[in-house]
Amino acid sequence: MPTFPYTSGQGALTQTFAQLRKGAPSKIDASYLQRFNIAPANESYILSILRFLGIIDEDGTRPDGSSDYLFGNDDAFKTGLESAIRSSYSQLFEEMNDALQSDRDTLIHWFRGADKTSALVGQRQATTFLTLAALSGHGELPPARTNGQKPSSSAATAAKKPKASAAKPTAKAGAASSESVTPENMSESASSFGRDVGLSVRVEVNIPANGDAATYDAIFASIKKHLMS
């Protein structure tokens, strides 16, 4: 396990100190951080940093007098935190006296060499140190993470509002039914689409069983006159 603590989200670290300066309880544990939605599922990393700085002991209790600077003004806070940093990172300051002004790459190489850690852990150790240094007045702070704020109702409504759908043409319901269908207009419609339409007519003739030749002649003469002319 690395000697020097680290966390992946530096915004959570600045948020922790901002909350502690508002009022540090006698015991700081995971439930305290969860109450303010700080470092969800990563509370142990923040607690290890506080423990490393001497702000809390192994069970999360804040020792008397160890972190009185949390209750002071900005200058008192920065001075007290810098003192805690120099004490906790004494090995770093012994080998690199100007550590508070060192760049990130230099610090990464130092932490990797001191702890024999991976590149990723070394980066996080260096970034954590730089964040603490910035809190003590040396360098720029990373942006603080918001407490899981949700977008405003108007923004959420705008995000969920569906796009207006294109208007669909409405069919004229009565247009087709108002015209009678005849062989002539069927033929014209088919021609307009470049197609030929054939029309067949089925005729059933009921011939009486007792009819004579004159009856048959009359029937076929009627068919020829009305259907085949």
Residue 160 has pLDDT above 50, yes or no: no
Residue 176 has pLDDT above 50, yes or no: no
What residue segments make up the domains of the chain, in order of their start? 10-135, 185-227
Give the tokens for residue 3. 């000697």
Separation of alpha carbons 39 and 16, rounded Å: 9
Q: Which residue has the higher pLDDT, 184 or 218?
A: 218
What's the pLDDT at 147? 45
Separation of alpha carbons 38 and 18, rounded Å: 11
Q: What would the mean pLDDT of 17-46 be, rounded to a whole number?
A: 96
Residue 152 has pLDDT above 50, yes or no: no
Predicted confidence band of residue 200 (pLDDT cuts 50, 70, 90):
low
What's the pLDDT at 136? 97
What's the pLDDT at 195? 52
Predicted confidence band of residue 190 (pLDDT cuts 50, 70, 90):
very low
